[in-house]
């Protein structure tokens, strides 16, 4: 290959720029040009491409977001759109692509691989819900952001003897909620994977109040049975000792400076993925397993575990710390 493409697809995550930098510098070091598609797969369809140089990716390792944009592309679901994008890439002399993104990005890369265009994927999502890998780029930063926010909210909750509900991202995965909840000593953690009955929540709150604890923290994944606002209303509408307030952290978890771990993880994955592509691999994902990067075939990836099972701490769903 004389030229490769790179895109950031799906939602942005802290560390994507570090991965982009690693891809670019690894390819350039092997004498291969790098062209970025703007705003994910849409950039390939619309031929919005920009050549990257060493200078293009200078000083971006510590920046959040993605300097080449990111986003989902419903149009790329159409076979004719994928084929048109591949035809244009080949006309430009581009022989393969590195895709940085979420599970939908992996699906898109797999489709490119199936029609004969070499594609490899780097997992970048704060939800840490990609198959085959123990951790994804951005998850560590998001957990740290949530942890810092919850620690601050605990202070005001204790001052007013309140229940504080903190909603974090995770429509289908409770990973951020579980890890941030364990790290902050939350009284309860609610996830999509393990629904909890309302009576259990009220019982646990009452028991905690009787022990004279001045605060009750509930970390709620956005995909749990109740959103934080709804659950707050239910708590305040019941004869409960704690008065409840809620905070939705939202997109603040996806932005900002990536942690040391995410910068190094992204760099190592970027180097491994680019080398794999240039050495002839396709249809593979960069994974983090057993404290090292492994390239694994897309069709061999196992579904993600329940984050409770995945966590190192042996905790119960209802926990009082």
Closest CA to 37 of 116, 100, 123, 130: 100
pLDDT mean over 257-280:
98
**127 included as an active-site residue:** yes
DSSP 137: B
Q: What is the DSSP letter of 73?
A: -
Confidence band, pLDDT 50/70/90 cuts, at residue 317: very low
- List pLDDT tens digits, range 67-106: 999 999 999 999 999 999 999 999 999 999 999 999 999 9
- Provide the strand spans (E) within 210-256: 216-221, 243-248
pLDDT band at 32 (very low <50, low <70, confident <90, very high): very high
All CATH 3.40.50.450 domain ranges of the chain, comma separated, are 3-138+258-302
Q: What is the mean pLDDT of residues 235-250?
A: 92
- Between 66 and 316, name the one with better pLDDT: 66
How many H-runs (helices) and E-runs (strands) does the chain carry?
10, 11
pLDDT at 304: 74
Point out which residues pair with 288 in neighbouring strands.
293
Residue 316 confidence class, pLDDT cut points 50, 70, 90: very low
Half-sphere exposure of 1 (CA within 13 A, CB side): 30
What pLDDT does 318 receive? 43
Task: Evaluate if residue 230 carries a pLDDT over 60.
Answer: yes
Q: State the catalytic residue, choosing from 42, 127, 140, 262.
A: 127
Residue 220 has pLDDT above 80, yes or no: yes
Q: Residue 315: is its pLDDT beyond 80?
A: no
Banded model confidence at residue 321, pLDDT cuts 50, 70, 90: very low
Is the pLDDT reported for residue 314 higher than 50?
no
Indicate whether this model's pTM tops 0.85.
yes
CATH class of 3-138+258-302: alpha beta
Domain with CATH 3.40.50.460 in the chain: 140-254
Mean pLDDT of 169-193: 94
pLDDT beyond 80 at 30 = yes
Return mean pLDDT, the chain: 93
Phi-psi region of 40 (alpha: psi -120 to 50; beta: other; left: phi over 0): left
Tokens of 153: 């909210």
**What are the tokens at 135?**
């951790």
> What's the gap between Cα 265 and its chain centre?
13
CATH of the domain spanning 140-254, picked from 3.40.190.10, 3.30.420.10, 3.40.50.460, 3.30.70.380: 3.40.50.460
Q: Report pLDDT for 308.
A: 66
312 — pLDDT class (breaks 50, 70, 90)? very low
The average pLDDT across 186-205 equals 93
Beta bridge partners of 292: 289
């Amino acid at each position: 290959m004389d030229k490769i493409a790179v895109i950031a697809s799906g939602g942005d995550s802290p560390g994507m720029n570090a991965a982009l930098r690693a891809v670019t510098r690894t390819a350039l070091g092997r004498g291969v040009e790098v062209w970025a598609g703007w705003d994910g797969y849409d950039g390939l369809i619309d031929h919005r491409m920009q050549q990257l140089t060493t200078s293009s990716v200078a000083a971006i390792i510590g920046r959040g977001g993605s300097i080449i944009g990111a986003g989902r592309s419903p149009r790329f679901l159409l076979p004719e759109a994928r084929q048109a994008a591949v035809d244009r890439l080949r006309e430009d002399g581009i022989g393969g692509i590195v895709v940085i993104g979420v599970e939908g990005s992996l699906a898109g890369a797999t489709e490119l691989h199936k029609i004969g265009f070499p594609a490899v994927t780097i997992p970048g999502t704060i939800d840490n819900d990609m198959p085959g890998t123990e951790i994804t780029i951005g998850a560590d930063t998001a957990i740290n952001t949530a942890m810092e926010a919850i620690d601050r909210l605990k202070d005001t909750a204790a001052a007013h003897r309140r229940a504080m509900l903190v909603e974090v991202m995770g429509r289908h995965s409770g990973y951020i909620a579980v890890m941030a909840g364990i790290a902050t000593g939350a009284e309860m953690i609610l996830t999509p994977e393990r629904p909890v009955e309302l009576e259990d929540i009220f019982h646990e709150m009452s028991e905690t109040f009787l022990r004279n604890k001045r605060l009750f923290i509930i970390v709620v994944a956005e995909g749990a049975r109740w959103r934080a606002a709804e659950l707050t209303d239910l708590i305040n509408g019941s004869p409960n000792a704690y008065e409840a307030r809620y905070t939705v952290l939202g997109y603040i978890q996806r932005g900002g400076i990536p942690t040391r771990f995410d910068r190094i993880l992204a760099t190592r994955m970027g180097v491994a993925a680019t080398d794999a592509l240039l050495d002839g691999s396709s249809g593979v994902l960069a994974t983090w397993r057993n404290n090292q990067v492994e390239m694994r075939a897309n069709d061999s990836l196992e579904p993600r575990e329940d984050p409770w099972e995945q966590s190192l701490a042996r905790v119960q769903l209802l926990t009082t710390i």
